[in-house]
Amino acid sequence: MSAQHALLEARGIGKSFFGIPALDEVDFTLGRGEIHALLGENGAGKSTLIKILTGVYRRDRGTIALDGNEVSPEDVGQAQALGIGTVYQEVNLLENLTVAENLFLGRQPRRFGMIDRRAMREQSKALLARYGLNIDVDALLASYSVAIRQLIAIARAVDLSGKVLVLDEPTASLDANEVKGLFSVLRQLREEGLGIVIITHFLDQVYEIADRVTVLRNGRLVGSRALSELPRLELISMMLGRELQHITREHQAEPETVDERGAPSIRFQNYGKKGSVAPFDLDIRPGEVVGVAGLLGSGRTETAFLLFGIDRADSGTATIDGAQANISSPEAAIASGFGFCPEERKTDGIVGDLSVADNIVLALQASRGWMRPISSAQKRELADAFIKSLDIRPADRERPIKFLSGGNQQKAILARWLVTEPRLLILDEPTRGIDIGAHAEILKMIERLCSEGMSLIVISSELEELTAVAHRVVVLSDRRHVAELSGSQLTTDAIIEAIAGTGRTEAA
Amino acid sequence: MIHARNLPFITTLAIFVIAYALCVLQFPNMLSTRVIGNLLTDNAFLGIAAVGMTFVILSSGIDLSVGSVIAFTSVFVAVMVGSFGVHPLTAFIAALVISTLFGCLMGAMIRYLLIPPFVVTLAGMFLARGAAYLVSTESVPITHEFIDAMMGFYIRFPGGGRLTLLAMIMLAVFIAGIFIASRTRFGANVYAIGGNIQSAELMGVPVGSTTIRIYALSGFLSGLAGIVYTLYTSSGYSLATVGVELDAIAAVVIGGTLLTGGVGLIAGTFVGILLQGLIQTYIVFDGTLSSWWTKIVIGILLFVFIVLQRTIIWYSNRQLAVRQLKEV
Amino acid sequence: MHVITRRLRRLAPQLIALAIILGVISLVAPGFLTVSVQNGRLYGSLIDILVRAAPVALLTVGMTLVIATRGIDLSIGAVIAICGAVAASLITEGYSLPVVIAISLGVGIACGLWNGVLVAILDIQPIIATLILMVAGRGIAQLITEGVILTFNDDTFSALGSGAFAGIPIPIYLWLGTALIVGLLMRRTALGFLIEATGINRRAASLAGVRARFLIFAAYAISGLCAAIAGMIVTADIRGADANNAGLWLELDAILAVVVGGTSLNGGRFSITASLIGALIIQSINTGILVSGFPPEFNLIIKAGIIIIVLTLQSPAVMTLLGFMKFSRRRETLTHGTKEATR
């Protein structure tokens, strides 16, 4: 009877916020035993759709049917009770509780009205054993790694809901091995007949794990297709629309090879910090872009933190123009002419309630000290100049920066450093989480800056981006600098080999 | 297995035992059941209020209205019984209903108006104190045979000490609090909200009703503390118990509960109360020390425990980082 | 938008609230608004409000800065007691006025720096860190006064509390002057801007090279300094240091003044002027209840009622509702604009 219906069927879903449509007439169908990837650029409406399906938001229009019965989950608890469970990317479980308490929060086994801790422990162990996890369930969640927490979250969601599992960017902070483990769990769940929705940015992973894909763009449905009959290029064009050619051209228009750019002006020798990054040597010449590649957790961001003085190095020396420099804090780094655009834009980059103009002059004001304020006329001038040259939209310097899109925020942070006229700019994942247009502009700007003689360090997990933009790429693995590639050696394959090569020697 | 999160509690317990031993070495009389009985009775109202405060702080909130609610309840009960001739039991129930509803109201404002607990309960503190003034600004003595009977009820320890009804109420409240915190879903939800309110909400914890119940519980226990205080002083006075909320907060923090919420034990608060009582008793025994040393010593203890908690958090974060490094 | 209109718009809710409260009181108590000159000195309820507001207004100046850094300073009531005790005991020991004032101010700053160490260096939550001094502070003050109310007879010092200059009571000069100096210090240098950045996102500000620790230190030190001045006024006024009651609960009034002034407890953008109007609102309520003949028992209830109304109107929930209404209105013009742009 129920086999006639799809497991979860959403029809004509519409939702708007403050009158601005976020989702418009979107259909979504999930079958039993199906892993369904939900793709789209930022702002495409993926998370809005997920939140409607899981009861966080209420839809304005449309119907949702689970097993053929119409449902309208009003909150997360109701959606769970109906059988729809979710694992979110970051806000997940509670670190201050034990594993068992996390698994059974809100539904603890009880005896005589009191929580039965022994039963909870036993059931937790049994539950996790199904996922191949044999851990101390009475230990605090905080004592386990992200990958294990993710599995615990999945175990909880599946046990709680049992029909539909929604995973929002589950692999964002896992390494390759952990992703493999996660996928084998997902396959097992698929065998058991669960419908799984997975949101991810990694196309490789989509092809590896998903059966079907639904693509959203600008709040509308682009299409829903079986992956077995969908070539990769077509999927990308579904996601990006016409912008695809633009992108490929952008990447090809970068034939630069390393040439003689004079003596290195900034040298780090035997620079490192115990428990963070093993000592490394790094020379940076004026007008050079040095890429940093490596998997998550390989020490990429840690390298940036060391170079910018956020973490203090415990070995080695830094020299600038032949003179010893002591980069023990961001202020010292800035005084030496460094700038740093961090990866976590929201928490480490923008000062949300301040205006775009205030954000742009922040670093300059900080380096001048509090006694020498930047006049408001000066501030206006600087802000307007950079809003214009970087095409920050909307072009309103008084608007609080938190109301700007990710790409425009990133440009404003870039502007913050450009006003200080740095000699070295460190960019950590400068294009993560921003739209295609801003992405291309930022790459173009990196080029322009280095042609003006600025040195740049670009950390990125997109290898193609690195090979396109960098003159040299430093490869990291296991918190060590394992290779430096330049010239004709500089290809994505070579980088991957360099990362993988050390893995092999480690294993041996 | 000793969790890092229980370390503050164990430290408090150890400090209490050592401090008590030192006191006994100097004044052997402090070991007597009489001293212990008095200590429990003298701090009964504070202990009851501190249990409510522990729940509030575990949920990463704060309740500044405690002292005022105690004053209101005590003057309310005194006037009802003393001036209007209401039976004490009826007055008690009415007072508890009012204080519980008052807590509910504050919880609802915190939850639905999204005003920080600090500010809401600060307004509540003024409101309750103002209401107490309205009832009476005089100290109202009460006498009633029922109350006499209550005060006459005690268990005699060997050695002459007495476990009074007030002390028994406090111990009962602590035992109930321990069970509620560790063995009920409500208790688990309190820890969850204190850990991370967004995650708790996404995990299906009924944040709204739990928040209201937390402040209702604190209101109820403040009311009960007010009744106990009335019995203890045989009067109601609207200017009394100013700043009791600070003593309660101090007891909670000294007892090892993190003021950021999510970590702590009701039993720790009990030790915190005992430690405060011990300081006062010591000062009385010593005779040469002035009463203000109590405040200074409690301040020092607060400082020590807060720094200790910071160190533990810092240390366990480092341990975690080191472990993750090894996993890599 | 012109700077002055923007500033007026920021202050409008507080100014309107103050006007309404003063208006209501003058209806109930005729003659409330009259100011007269006796013996070359201004008298009247309005002057009284300005004089009585001095301690809270002073605390409010410091508290605004501390709250802007996303902190809170619970200890300032106790700091008033400590500084009052220090001043009184120095005077009774016969020290000269400048020495008394300098040492008292120094003690206040030291108290603020202590809080700063706990908050900025040890990274302790401000509410907890300042709780320590709040609890211990009165004990310390009693230690200084040795448990008695330390009285003195020194006309020059007591002028700080009850004297007048050019017809205007000295406490008014003190709090207005302090507010003016601190305000100029904040807005004529970059201190205010950097403090706001630190309060909104300390990590991002630090990564941009802002010396967040120094700013937090500065905020707590100024708060301690303001409390010291308030402590001297309170002590000078009653010609004695009462360790138990001097400045009792004034920190709460100061926090309320800041909140009523519209500065968010979550830190960030602040306005000292708005906070001061908040302090005047609170003092007007106090004085108003007194002069309008209500029994003083009503004082707290009415104050609490007004505060709850103000808080509710300013609460994020109500704000979102208002913002929603404003937004949908703005959006109409916005869509209009984009249509024209695409055309």
Q: Is residue A353 part of a domain?
A: yes
Q: Is residue A256 part of a domain?
A: no
Three-state DSSP class for residue B154: strand
Which whole number is the average pLDDT over B259-277? 92
Q: Is residue A245 part of a domain?
A: no
Helix (H) or strand (E) holding C340: helix C316-342
How far, in Å, CA of C76 to CA of C57, rounded? 12
Per-chain mean pLDDT for chain B = 89
How far, in Å, CA of C36 to CA of C27, rounded? 19
Domain boundary among the residues A186, A205, A230 is at: A230
Query: Is the domain of A417 the same as that of A273?
Result: no
Count of residues making up chain C: 343
Query: Is the domain of A59 the same as that of A203?
Result: yes
How many CB atoms are located within 10 Å of the residue C217 CB? Answer: 20
**A301 in contact with B at a CB cutoff of 8 Å?**
no
Q: What is the pLDDT of residues A449-465, one digit of tens each?
A: 988 889 999 998 777 78
Q: What is the pLDDT of residues C189-215, one digit of tens each?
A: 999 999 999 999 999 999 999 999 999
Query: Is the domain of A499 the same as that of A455?
Result: yes
Among A459, A443, A169, A151, which Cα is nearest to A296's? A459
Query: Is the domain of A187 the same as that of A172?
Result: yes
Transcribe A277-341 into DSSP letters.
Answer: EEEEEEEE-TT-EEEEE--TTSSHHHHHHHHTTSSPPSEEEEEETTEEE---SHHHHHHTTEEEE
Q: What is the pLDDT of residues A273-283, one digit of tens each?
A: 887 888 999 99
Burial class (CB in 10 A: 0-12, 13-18, 19+), A329: middle
- Min Cα distance C298 → chain B (Å) is 7
Query: Is the domain of A148 the same as that of A293?
Result: no
Which whole number is the average pLDDT over B50-77? 96
Report whether the peptide linkage leading into residue A394 is cis, meaning its omega lies within 30 degrees of zero: yes
Considering only CB atoms, A96 lies closest to which of B1, B191, B198, namely: B191
Q: pLDDT confidence of B326, banded at 50, 70, 90?
A: low
pLDDT at residue C343 greater than cutoff 50: no
**Cβ partners under 8 Å of residue B89, min gap 6:** B146
Considering only residues C243 and B105, tell me which one the structure prediction assigns the higher pLDDT: B105
Count of residues making up chain B: 328
Strands (E), chain C: 36-38, 41-43, 150-151, 164-165, 168-169, 240-241
Q: What percent of chain A has pLDDT over 70?
A: 88
pLDDT at B287: 81
CB contact under 8 A, A352 and C200: yes
pLDDT at residue C331 greater than cutoff 80: no
**A163 in contact with B at a CB cutoff of 8 Å?**
no
pLDDT at A29: 93
- Are C38 and C203 in contact, with CB atoms under 8 Å apart? no
Domain boundary among the residues A402, A421, A440 is at: A421
pLDDT at residue A377 greater than cutoff 70: yes
Contacts of B253 in chain C (CB under 8 A): 128, 131
CA angle C132, C138, C144 (to 5 degrees): 125
**A177 in contact with B at a CB cutoff of 8 Å?**
no
Q: What is the pLDDT of residues A312-343, one digit of tens each?
A: 888 899 999 888 988 999 999 999 999 999 98
Nearest chain C residue to B244 by CA distance is C135
Nearest chain B residue to C244 by CA distance is B292
pLDDT at residue A352 greater than cutoff 70: yes
- How many cross-chain Cβ pairs, A to C, lie less than 8 Å apart? 78
**C23 in contact with B at a CB cutoff of 8 Å?**
no
Nearest chain A residue to B263 by CA distance is A96
Strands A472-477 and A323-325 turn out to be unpaired
CB contact under 8 A, C122 and B310: yes
Transcribe C29-53 into DSSP letters.
Answer: STTTT--EEETTEEESHHHHHHHHT
Considering only residues C329 and A68, tell me which one the structure prediction assigns the higher pLDDT: A68
CB contact under 8 A, A416 and C196: no
pLDDT at residue B92 greater than cutoff 60: yes
Alpha carbons within 13 angstroms on the beta-carbon side of residue A264 total 15
Among C103, C132, C102, which Cα is nearest to C116's? C132
CB contact under 8 A, B246 and C305: no
Is the sign of the CA dihedral C315, C318, C320, C326 positive or negative? Answer: negative
How far, in Å, CA of B191 to CA of B203, rounded? 13
Report pTM. 0.82
pLDDT at A499: 75
CB contact under 8 A, A18 and C324: yes
Q: pLDDT confidence of C338, banded at 50, 70, 90?
A: very low
Taking the CA atoms of chain A, what radius of gyration do you get in angstroms? 25
pLDDT at C119: 94
pLDDT at C326: 56
pLDDT at residue A246 greater than cutoff 60: no
Specify the number of domains making up chain A: 3
Q: Which chains touch C (3 or more CB pairs under 8 A)?
A: A, B
pLDDT at residue A285 greater than cutoff 70: yes
Instruction: Give the single-character DSSP code of A1.
Output: -
Contacts of A139 in chain B (CB under 8 A): 3
Query: Is the domain of A271 the same as that of A409?
Result: no
**C318 in contact with B at a CB cutoff of 8 Å?**
yes
- Min Cα distance C3 → chain A (Å) is 11
Among the listed ranges B187-196, B280-289, C172-181, which one has the minimum average pLDDT value?
B280-289
Query: Is the domain of A62 the same as that of A144?
Result: yes
How far, in Å, CA of A240 to CA of A230, rounded? 15
pLDDT at C324: 60
- How many cross-chain Cβ pairs, A to B, lie less than 8 Å apart? 89
Which residue ranges form the domains of chain B, and what is each CATH number?
A: 4-327 (1.10.3470)
Q: Is residue A222 part of a domain?
A: yes
Query: Is the domain of A472 the same as that of A429?
Result: yes
Considering only residues C311 and B111, tell me which one the structure prediction assigns the higher pLDDT: B111
pLDDT at C224: 97
**C117 in contact with B at a CB cutoff of 8 Å?**
no
C-alpha distances out from residue A84 to A57, A90, A94, A162, B260, Å? 14, 19, 20, 7, 32
Q: What is the pLDDT of residues A185-206, one digit of tens each?
A: 999 999 999 999 998 867 778 8
How far, in Å, CA of B202 to CA of A124, rounded? 20
- The tokens of A267 are what? 């040298």
Strands A195-199 and A34-39 turn out to be parallel
ipTM value for the complex: 0.85
C-alpha distances out from residue A103 to A56, A216, A492, B245, C251, Å? 20, 33, 41, 35, 43
How far, in Å, CA of C116 to CA of C124, rounded? 10
- Are A221 and A198 in contact, with CB atoms under 8 Å apart? no
Q: Is residue A112 part of a domain?
A: no
Query: Is the domain of A42 the same as that of A64?
Result: yes
Q: What is the pLDDT of residues B208-236, one digit of tens each?
A: 999 999 999 999 999 999 999 999 999 99
- The tokens of B243 are what? 């700043």
CB contact under 8 A, A367 and C209: yes
Q: What is the pLDDT of residues B11-30, one digit of tens each?
A: 889 889 999 999 999 998 88
Contacts of B306 in chain C (CB under 8 A): 118, 124, 128-129, 132
Query: Is the domain of A77 the same as that of A189?
Result: yes
What range does the domain containing A84 cover?
Answer: 8-96+140-230
Considering only CB atoms, A101 lies closest to which of B188, B199, B328, namely: B188
Q: Is residue A128 part of a domain?
A: no
pLDDT at A4: 67
Considering only residues A27 and A91, tell me which one the structure prediction assigns the higher pLDDT: A27
Query: Is the domain of A48 the same as that of A91?
Result: yes
pLDDT at A309: 92
pLDDT at A258: 44
**A168 in contact with B at a CB cutoff of 8 Å?**
no
Query: Is the domain of A268 the same as that of A400?
Result: no
Q: Is residue A289 part of a domain?
A: yes
**Cβ partners under 8 Å of residue B288, min gap 6:** none
CB contact under 8 A, A95 and B195: yes
pLDDT at A251: 39
Domain boundary among the residues A185, A208, A230 is at: A230
**A69 in contact with B at a CB cutoff of 8 Å?**
no
Among the listed ranges B105-114, B316-325, C36-45, C104-113, which one has the minimum average pLDDT value?
B316-325
Which whole number is the average pLDDT over B241-269? 90
**A77 in contact with B at a CB cutoff of 8 Å?**
yes
Considering only CB atoms, A18 lies closest to which of C197, C203, C327, namely: C327
CATH number of the domain where residue A70 is located: 3.40.50.300
Which whole number is the average pLDDT over C118-126? 90
Considering only CB atoms, C122 lies closest to which of B124, B137, B307, namely: B307
Strands A212-217 and A220-226 turn out to be antiparallel
Query: Which of A227-236, A428-437, C272-281 reaches the highest mean pLDDT?
Result: C272-281
Q: Is residue A118 part of a domain?
A: no
pLDDT at residue C82 greater than cutoff 90: yes
Q: pLDDT confidence of A508, banded at 50, 70, 90?
A: very low
Taking the CA atoms of chain C, what radius of gyration do you get in angstroms? 22
Contacts of B289 in chain C (CB under 8 A): none
